[in-house]
Chain A
Amino acid sequence: MTDLKSILVKFQSIIALLVLCVVLTILSDKFFTLENGWNIARQISINVCISVGMTMVILTKGIDLSVGSILAFSGAIAAGLLKYGLEIPSMNTYIGFTVFGAILAGLTVGGGLGVLNGWMITRFKVPPFVATLAMLAIARGATMLWTGGFPITGLGADFAIIGTGWFLGIPMPVWITVIVVVLAVILTKKTKFGRHIYAIGGNESAARLSGININKIKTWVYAIAGILAAVGGIILTARLDSAQPNAGMSYELDSIAAVVIGGTSLSGGRGSIMGTVQGALIIGVLNSGLVLLNVSPFWQQIIKGVVILLAVIMDRLNHPNED
Chain B
Amino acid sequence: MKKPLTYFLIALILGIVAYNSVYIKKLDDVKKEQTKATFDAKTYANDFFNSKLETVSSTAAADFLNNIKADVKGYSEENGNKLGISTDYYFIIDGNASVVEIEDEYILVTLDDDHQKMKIATDFIFGNAIREGTQMAHIGDYQNTMDYNNISVESNNIVRETILPPFIQKVKKSDSLYFKGAVRLNTKKPKFEDLRVIPLVLKIKK
A residues with a Cβ closer than 8 A to B are 85, 87-89, 91-98, 100-101, 104-105, 150-151, 153-154, 156, 242
Rounded to whole Å, the gap between the CB of B38 and the closest CB of chain A is: 13
Cα distance A94–B22 in the bound complex, in angstroms = 10
Q: Name the A residues within 8 Å of B5 (CB-CB).
A: none
Q: Are A96 and B23 in contact (CB under 8 A)?
A: yes
A93 close to B27 (CB less than 8 A): yes
A11 nearest CB across to chain B (Å): 39
Contact of B27 with A154 in the complex, beta carbons under 8 Å? no
By a CB distance below 8 angstroms, the chain A residues around B29 are: 94
In the complex, what's the smallest C-beta–C-beta distance from B56 to chain A, in angstroms? Answer: 27
B145 at the binding interface (Cβ < 8 Å): yes
- Check A98 against B24 for contact (C-beta < 8 Å): no
A242 and B21 in contact, given A88-B27, A94-B26 (Cβ under 8 angstroms): no
A92–B28 CB distance below 8 A: yes
Residues of B within 8 A of A154 (CB): 142-145
Contact A96 B24 (CB under 8 A): yes
Which residue of the partner chain B has the closest CB to A90?
B27
CB-CB under 8 A from B30, the residues of chain A are 85, 87, 94, 96
Chain A residues closer than 8 Å to B26, beta-carbon distance: 92-94
Contact A95 B22 (CB under 8 A): yes
Q: Which residues on the B side are within 8 Å of A92 (C-beta)?
A: 26-28
3 A-B pairs closest in CB distance:
A101-B21, A154-B143, A154-B144
22 residue pairs of the A-B complex, CB under 8 angstroms, read A85-B30, A87-B30, A89-B27, A91-B27, A92-B26, A92-B28, A93-B25, A94-B26, A94-B27, A95-B22, A95-B23, A96-B23, A98-B21, A98-B22, A100-B20, A101-B20, A101-B22, A105-B21, A151-B145, A154-B142, A156-B143, A242-B145
B70 at the interface (CB under 8 A from A): no
Q: Does chain A have a CB within 8 A of B17?
A: yes
CB distance from A182 to the nearest CB of B (A): 23
Interface size of B by CB at 8 A reads 17
B-side contacts of A88, CB under 8 Å: 27
The answer to whether residues A98 and B23 also contact, given A154-B145, A242-B145 and a CB cut-off of 8 A, is yes
Whole-angstrom CA separation of A98 from B21 in the bound complex: 5
User: In this complex, what residue of A is CB-closest to B144?
Assistant: A154
Name B's A-contacting residues (CB within 8 A): 17, 20-30, 142-146
Q: A104 to B30: give the CA distance in the assembly, Å.
A: 23
Nearest CB in chain B: distance from A80 CB, A: 13
**How many Å from the CB of B174 to the closest CB on chain A?**
48
Please measure, in the bound complex, the distance between the C-alpha atom of A94 and the C-alpha atom of B145, giving whole angstroms: 24
CB distance from A21 to the nearest CB of B (A): 27
Closest to B17 in A: A104
Query: What is the CA–CA distance of A197 and B142 in the complex, to the nearest angstrom?
Result: 48
A91's nearest neighbour on chain B, judged by CB, is B27
| Minimum Cβ distance to chain B for residue A97 (Å) | 6
Q: In the assembly, what is the distance between CA of A156 and CA of B142, in Å? A: 11
Which chain A positions have C-beta within 8 A of B17? 104
Give the complex CA separation of A87 and B48 in angstroms: 35
Query: Complex formed: what's the CA distance from A50 to B143 in Å?
Result: 29
- Complex partner residue of B24 from A93, A105, A151, CB under 8 angstroms: A93
Q: In whole angstroms, what is the CA distance A89 to B143 when docked?
A: 26
* Closest CB in chain A relative to B61 CB, distance in Å: 37
Task: State in angstroms the CA–CA spacing of A154 and B139 once bound together.
Answer: 11
Q: Which residues of chain A are near B143, meaning CB under 8 Å?
A: 154, 156
Minimum Cβ distance to chain A for residue B27 (Å): 5
Using CB atoms, name the residue of chain A closest to B30: A94
Name the distance in Å between B116's Cβ and chain A's nearest Cβ: 36
Most buried by B among A89, A94, A151: A94
Q: Which residue of A lies closest to B145 (CB)?
A: A153
Measured CB to CB, the closest approach of chain B to A216, in angstroms, equals: 21
Chain B residue numbers with a CB within 8 Å of A151 are 145
Q: Report chain B residues within 8 Å CB of A150.
A: 146
Contacts of B144 in A (CB 8 A): 153-154
Closest approach, in angstroms, between the C-beta of B29 and any C-beta of chain A?
Answer: 8
For the complex formed, measure the closest distance between the CB of A148 and the CB atoms of chain B, giving whole angstroms: 12
Apart from A89-B27, A92-B26, A93-B24, 19 more pairs, CB < 8 Å: A88-B27, A92-B27, A92-B28, A93-B25, A93-B26, A94-B24, A94-B29, A95-B22, A95-B23, A96-B23, A97-B21, A98-B22, A100-B20, A100-B21, A104-B17, A104-B21, A105-B21, A151-B145, A156-B143
